[in-house]
Amino acid sequence: MCLIVFAWRPGHALPLIVAANRDEFYARPTQALAAWEDAPGVHAGRDLEAGGTWLGVGPQGRFAALTNIRDPGQALGPRSRGELVAAYLQGELGVEAYLDQVASRSGQYSGFNLLVGDGRQLGYLHARDVAPRLLEAGVYGLSNAGLDTPWPKLVKARTGLERLLDTADPQRLLALLADDQPAADGDLPETGVGLATEKLLSSVFIASQNYGTRASTVLIVDDQGRRRLVERSFGPFGGHLGEVELSV
């Protein structure tokens, strides 16, 4: 997952709204959003290469999502980051206890940002931080740096989400995630991948021959704990592969 914008509003009729794009190589085998037969109550896409996931929901109001940190010079961790989301969705530890546990072994993974929640709390951990934090009510964004790092695509998507909070219409949120306009050269971050790649990665929705947005996902949670998930899947050059909608 490479872009997540979300509104966390405890006590509101819609306490959690999430709009997220997962960017990955098209060749990496992936299962679209579905119920996991081997994990009752878990609904998520699945990375069929390593077995984990990038975003999903689980029993008892559990939600988790992850983005990678873009840093060509970082050491590669021996474990798959996707297992961090999957383990929380299938586990029983609370938000703070789980993030504390992950923080104690974050060196086993390449850089990541991790969000986990249970309907009462929403917590965040950056792999390079000593301690996780519980998030207060607000509208936030995550890309491939830290929370709310003002990359152009993050600012654009977060602002777009703020404008859609009153309606929380999944199709309008998916349209927000489909913005393929790249940032101006002068606004690009410098993450060590070169100008052409920075440009490619600067749009909310990424499309190319080998790498791009594989899934756009919207999650809307109401104050009764009901969760609506809508996901669109894509192939090379942004070709539409299908749409899944679940209410759990």
If you write DSSP's letter for every residue of 48-81 in order, what string do you get? TTTS--SEEE-STT-EEEEEE---TTSPPPSB-T
> For the whole model, what pTM was predicted?
0.96
Summarize pLDDT for 61-108 with one digit per residue, the tens. Answer: 999 999 999 998 888 899 999 999 999 999 999 999 999 999 999 999
Q: Among 107, 192, 187, which Cα is nearest to 144's?
A: 192
Summarize pLDDT for 122-135 with one digit per residue, the tens. Answer: 999 999 887 999 99
Q: Exposed e or buried b for every residue in 61-79, given b needs 16+ CB within 10 A?
A: ebbbbbbbbbeeeeeebee
Residues of the chain scoring pLDDT < 50: none
**What is the structure's pLDDT at 248?**
95
Radius of gyration in angstroms for the set of CA atoms belonging to the chain, rounded to a whole number:
17
**What is the structure's pLDDT at 1?**
64
**What is the structure's pLDDT at 130?**
79
**What is the structure's pLDDT at 186?**
93
All domains of the chain in start order, with CATH: 3-247 (3.60.60.10)
**What is the structure's pLDDT at 45?**
98
